[in-house]
Structure formats: C-alpha cells, structure tokens
Chain A
Amino acid sequence: MKLLRDTWLVFGRYFWIFIHNPAWVVIGVVQPLLYLILFAPLLKTIQSAPGFPKGGAYNVFVPGLLVQLGLFGAAGVGFSLIAELRMGVIERLRVTSVCRIALLLGRALRDVMSILVQSLILILLALPFGLSINVIGVVVVLALIALIGLLTASVAYTVALWTRSENSYAPIIFTATLPILLLSGVLLPLTLAPQWLRNIAAANPLSYAVDAARAVFLAHLGDPSVVKGVAIMAVLCFISIVIGARAFGRAVA
C-alpha cells in the first residue's frame, strides 16, 4: 500500500513538473511527427529491395521507430536526476520515510507515460500513410514499449546515481545506446544484414523486442517472438528496477 501511494506521489510530482514545462510537451509531440515526415518516405523505394520484410513500409518501419522512442525517450532522463542531486532534492527525499523503490518507480513511470503518449501519437499519425493495426495489437505494442522505457529509465537513473556528473553520464549512456540501437534492427530489418552482424544482434536483448513489435504489426499476435520479446523485456525490467532502487537507497553523497 505504502509503495503504491508513494509511487503515485512521486509520479505526481514529476508529472506536475513535466506539464509545467511547455517546451517538453511540444517536443514530445513534434518529434514523432518529424520521424514520419522526414524519414518514412525514404522507405517507399527501399521496400522493394531483396530481403525486405513483407507487410509494407510503414508496418516494418513504425515498430522500429516505437522501440527507438522507448530507448531514446528514456536514455536522457538521468540528466534531470543529476541536477536534482546537486540541488539536494534527492537527499531531502531520502531523509523522509518514502519508499526507496517509489523514488525510482514514480519518476520512471512518468517517463514511460510520455513515451506512451508519443507512441500513440505516432501510431495514429501513421494510419493515414498506410499503417494497419488493430486495437489489441496497439495495446500489446504499447505494453512492450512501456517495458523498454521502464528498463531504459531504470538503467539511466542508476548510471546517473553512480556517476553523479553529466560529464561521465553522457558518454556512458550514448556510447551504450547507439550500438544497442543499431544491433536491434530498428532502422532497417536485420534480415538485410550479413550473417556475422545477425549473430551479434542475437545477443542484443533489444533485437527481440523489435522482432516482437514487428510481429505484432504483421498481425501475428500469437507468434512466439511476441511472447519471447515481452518476457525478455519484463525480466530485464525487474532486474534493473531492483538494482536502481538499491542505488536510490544507498548513500548518495
């Protein structure tokens, strides 16, 4: 009960701060729009290339875009935490009897919420371009994106608590996210890739999430890759939250 209440309170705090900053809200809406307008048209010509999956450019491209949104949308959240560490906000919260898991979960869920809103906007905007998906598919894919966001946010906050400085946090996060993203087949499907690249990608958990998202968009909801992708993300999510909550509970000088 206390965990739920505290998580809700912490979520409320960061939600309030978020909606009182119009710049972030505008960026949140504009970003998915830019992807669709400036990048998707390129796919029209490429979809006839050998090896390109069936289902049409948008049904291949949008799932990847959503996964990318989940990853990049949460990778930078540590910056705000570092600023708060400096202002003494986190220390102040840690002296109260608030649940340490709630300190992590509340703010990570706020991040997930804005990722989900962006994802939904993206899906809706892509519909007139030729994306096809049913309601259950949307629910499943949003759940998957939520897990990716939660996982990334937990890891990002943990790294922020460990490094405590933007100058160490930024290189670590950006050096890690780029190969993870490229090796997941987000931008172009890995079916186009040579075998050695596919072998490396098999070790990347995010590639299973991308496979799952694509299967959903091809209306293969019962496909084993969907269960596999969601399960892998859920397990990693759980682990990262446990580690992140411990980092919040431990000394932050």
Chain B
Amino acid sequence: MGVGVVEAAIETHGLRRVFKTRKQVVEAVVGVDLTVRTGEIFGFLGPNGAGKTTTLRMLATLLPPSGGKARVAGCDLLTQPDRVRKRIGYVSQAGGSDYEVNGRFELTFQCRLYGMTRDAAAKRAAEIIEMLELEICADRPVKTYSGGQKRRLDIGLGLVHNPQLLFLDEPTTGLDPQSRARVWDEVRRMHDRGTTVFLTTHYLDEADALCDRIAIIDYGKIVAEGTPEELKRAVSGDVVTLTVAGPAKAALDVLEGQAYVREASIEEGSVRLYVDRGEVAMPAILRQLDAAGLQLLTIGLHRPSLDDVFLRKTGRSLREVAA
C-alpha cells in the first residue's frame, strides 16, 4: 500500500477461464476487467451460468485462471496464492459446514486452521457465535439448523480470521425474507467494520439495496460497472409499461415508430417503452392506442431499475433468464 493511496481490494485485467471437456471447449469467463475498491460492498450481478461463480472461485484461489492477471487483497493472485488466502474469506453457495458436526466445532476448527492456539480458537468461536446470534444452535449438529442459521454459520466460518476481503457467493439464495434481511444486516455490519465485501447475486433488489457498486456480467463478460444510481442514470429517460386487450404485438406495432419512443419491446405480455420524458409520452401513447382501436388495460410509468439496465445491455431481462 502506498502512502495516502489505498490499494484496490481487487483488480483484474483480462481474467479468463476456459473449461475443456472431451467434447467441447467452454469459455466460462471471457475476459474480466474489474476494480473493487477497499471497503466497499461490491455486487456481481448476472444470470445463472454467466460466469459469476467461476470468476469468484478464481479470485478466491480455488480455480487457476486460463489467462489474465489479478491482484487480490494486495497480493498477486497467480504468484502469491498463499498470501491471498490469509487475507480473504470465502463462503460458497453450498456453505462449507459438515451437517454431522456442530457449529462450534466447525468454527473452532476453522480458527485452528488459521494458526490460532486452542484457547484463542475457542474464544474466537464464542465471539462469532455471539456476533451472529447462533447461541441456541451452536452445540447442535448443523443438520438441525434452519436455512438462516446455517447461512450465518457459513458466513461466520469465512470471518474467523478477520479477513480484509470477504467473498460471498449468492449469500441469500433460498432464504426466506426474514433470514435474507438478517444476512443483509450482517453484510452491512462487516462493511461498517471496514471489510470489503464482494458478493454475487441474481437478485436485483439485493444489488440495489446492499451494494455500493455493481458489475453486471453476461456470457463471461462485464457489460456494465458502476454504482446502481450511475447505471440507472445511464438508461436515461423513463420506462412505460402497458398492457392492452388483445395481442401486445398490435400495440407494439403502433408505438414502435413514434418519435418519442427510444426503444420498445414486449416483456411477459406487456409492452415496455423507453421514453425521454414520461409526462410527454403518456398522453401521446393514450391517443395513439385509442386511434388504433386498442383498449388499454394497464399503464405504468417508472424510473429505470437495474433490470432495465440489464435489459439495455444484454437485450434480455434478468428476471427472464434467472427464472
């Protein structure tokens, strides 16, 4: 770290990963250039199969890159993986705790692996248990845990050595809303303590609510990077969604060529229009549909969401591909 300049937590250049099977060569990550700043919550957003987990596993030293360079937590990923490992924590989608043993055992063992003495490990495990409010289940086998308890334990396992950078792979997938909110709270608390958090998600609201900055990955490439606000602002104008009685295609044909419509598409049976100014476009839309004899059922005006960002960048809706 230079004087006065805080080094980026992660910096990658052309990071690539190719998987070879007997029949074909799959380019899972085509070339990722990323900068994650120290201390931020960085969201890695994309549909399943886009290369999120592969990128994460490369950055966490689990998978050797096929090409490119990366610095993680101030160390070179390729030449100093051991030093990277000491500074990062990683929580996979599967979690990482054995169902047959209890949470305290797993935490203590994890502490010992990071070089703590028996006493220090027991003390640190107790701290984590208290911090993540796992007291009621800490001494029971993991298989008896609720989804939320299990996820908190897994996160705890990634935190025992106070890493400066924590990777979370889809930390809230499969959790009920309450457990999800608890995980968000934990992530924010880590952030407040100065930990850099790199998380993947395919939930747009999660990226929007939790992350300082996000990158969107699709087909192994970064298609957008910035704060959620910046990205949404880049999709300038407003979004109008409407449905009509009868086929949506008929309405699309009427509206597509209009001067105030920058882009139009059909999403799940409704027409979606990107317009410069919603308040100008709305009356015109109503007039034109009326003139075409199409009965309007619903119409809505909203600011662009991250889904609109994704749609603009990839031509597909994230909700659609994630489903």
Contact = CB atoms under 8 A, between A and B. Distances in A.
A96 B90 CA distance: 9
Interface string B98-114: 11110001000110111
Contacts of A38: none
A94 B88 CA distance: 12
16 contacts: A6-B113, A9-B113, A16-B101, A87-B95, A89-B97, A89-B98, A91-B94, A92-B95, A92-B110, A92-B157, A94-B62, A95-B60, A95-B61, A95-B88, A96-B85, A97-B113
A42 interface: no
A96 B62 contact: no
Nearest to B81: A97
A251 B92 CA distance: 14
**Chain B, interface SS category:** loop
B85 A97 contact: yes
Interface in A1-43: 6, 9, 13, 16-17, 20-21
**Chain A, interface SS category:** helix
B113 A98 contact: yes
B98 A86 contact: no
Given A17-B100, A94-B62, A95-B62, A86 B114 contact: no
Given A17-B100, A88-B96, 18 more contacts: A9-B109, A17-B98, A17-B101, A86-B94, A87-B96, A87-B98, A87-B99, A88-B92, A88-B93, A89-B98, A92-B97, A94-B62, A95-B62, A95-B88, A97-B85, A97-B113, A98-B113, A252-B62
A220 B248 CA distance: 92
A89 B98 CA distance: 6
Contacts of B114: 96-97
Contacts, number: 67
B94 A96 contact: no
A41 B187 CA distance: 66
Most buried by B among A6, A84, A86, A88: A88
B263 interface: no
Interface of B: 60-64, 82, 85-86, 88-90, 92-101, 105, 109-110, 112-114, 154, 157
Nearest to A251: B63
Most buried by A among B92, B99, B112: B112
A93 interface: yes
Given A87-B99, A251-B62, A251-B63, A93 B113 contact: yes
Interface in A86-121: 86-89, 91-98
A137 B117 CA distance: 39
Contacts of B86: 97
B119 to A, nearest CB: 15
| 9 A-B pairs with least C-beta separation | A92-B96, A88-B94, A88-B96, A95-B90, A97-B85, A96-B113, A88-B92, A251-B63, A98-B113
